[in-house]
Chains A and B, each alone.
Chain A
Amino acid sequence: MNSIHYLYAAYTATWVIHLTYISILVRRYLRLRTEVDQLKGK
């Protein structure tokens, strides 16, 4: 059945979306960390 590809596609898509969101959060966190370091430096 060709339709099994849709199953894989759906599972992959789910995790791509979640991992994208997590990476956005991590990037925001890292940016805040550098900001905090700058503030401490002043």
Chain B
Amino acid sequence: MKRAFPILAVLCVAFLGFATYEGLFVAPTERTMGDVQRIFYYHVPSAWTAFLLFFLNFIASIQYLVRGNDFADRFAKWVAVLVGAAGCIAVFAIKPMPAGIEPSSVATTALAITGLYFLIRKYFPEERTDVLALVTAEVGVVFCTVVLVTGPLWARPVWGIWWTWDIRLTSTLVLWLIYVSYLVLRRFSTSGQTPSVAAALAVFGALDVPLVYFSIWVFRTQHPQPVIGGGGSIDPRMLHVLLINWLAFLFFAALLCWARYELEIFQRQVEETHVLESLLEPENKQS
């Protein structure tokens, strides 16, 4: 396991290099925006990765809270299954989907919730779900920062403004704020109670996300806003490069999470040893 890491890291760097090459030289140049549009190949994959990580954080936090309580555990399991089923049914039941929402993405998201829930449940024992929650939130904030930095750098040459309080930008910013506050809470709470308090906050944050999105959506559509570039369908070659870049960044994020995960476990072991050591110290002095 430890030996695989350097090999994977080298592979990851090569893959990222390849993806960047594809983004810079292979992908066709966008007609209206020109070469600046290539920021897209870093911006969008980072955003998707960040959202996925926050989502994992939510599932891990839920698991941390329900484990140890038999009833809650079973209840959450059923909810996870029901969400998956409801997502699949919704595709057929709700015929005129709200604008901008693809039926296939609804079903995929719903099934991903169920799948990820059971995967995490199977492979992460109780204490480790807390580590997972911490790691995904931290790496997610890093990726979200990338999104928030590359976004204005794209907006400036294309729209002539650094920032607009548009739905996607604003809700990403709010998401970033929520998870930064999560990390701050973890940092400032005294070690023993951190996991459950942080898990509770993570659940609050995740519940807040749809409300944030919905409220800003309505808030912004009432006001004039700059037209978001294109809005039409995407060139298949661009989509191809985009997906390659996404895979590369996902790979990178997975490696980062893995490294951070091992680091956190190592740190906890060291802390435990410190505690044990300080307990043993007085005896040593006496003898």
With contacts A17-B146, A18-B142 known, is A7 near B35, CB below 8 A? yes
Say whether A10 contacts B263, CB under 8 Å.
no
The verdict on B177 contacting chain A, using a C-beta distance below 8 Å, is no
Say whether A6 contacts B36, CB under 8 Å.
yes
With contacts A10-B153, A25-B260 known, is A32 near B39, CB below 8 A? no
Say whether A32 contacts B266, CB under 8 Å.
yes
Residue of B nearest to A11 (CB): B42
Residues in A neighbouring B149, C-beta threshold 8 A: 10, 13-14, 17
Say whether A7 contacts B270, CB under 8 Å.
no
Residues in A neighbouring B150, C-beta threshold 8 A: 10, 13-14
Interface string of A1-42 (1 = CB under 8 A from B): 111101101110110011001100100110010011001001
Residues in A neighbouring B154, C-beta threshold 8 A: 6, 10
Interface string of B127-152 (1 = CB under 8 A from A): 00000000000010010011001100
CA gap between A14 and B260 in the complex, in Å: 19
Q: Give the most central of A4, A10, A39: most B CB within 10 Å.
A: A10
Residues in B neighbouring A35, C-beta threshold 8 A: 270, 274
Q: Give the most central of A4, A11, A29, A42: most B CB within 10 Å.
A: A11
Interface string of B240-266 (1 = CB under 8 A from A): 000000000000100010011001001
Say whether A25 contacts B259, CB under 8 Å.
yes
Contacting residue for B273 out of A4, A10, A18, A39, CB 8 A: A39
* Residues of chain A having any CB pair with chain B under 8 Å: 1-4, 6-7, 9-11, 13-14, 17-18, 21-22, 25, 28-29, 32, 35-36, 39, 42
The 10 closest A-B pairs by CB, nearest first: A3-B157, A10-B153, A10-B150, A10-B39, A3-B36, A6-B157, A21-B142, A13-B149, A6-B153, A14-B146
Query: What are 10 A-B contacts defined by CB distance under 8 Å?
Result: A3-B36, A6-B154, A7-B35, A10-B43, A11-B39, A14-B146, A22-B256, A29-B263, A29-B266, A35-B274
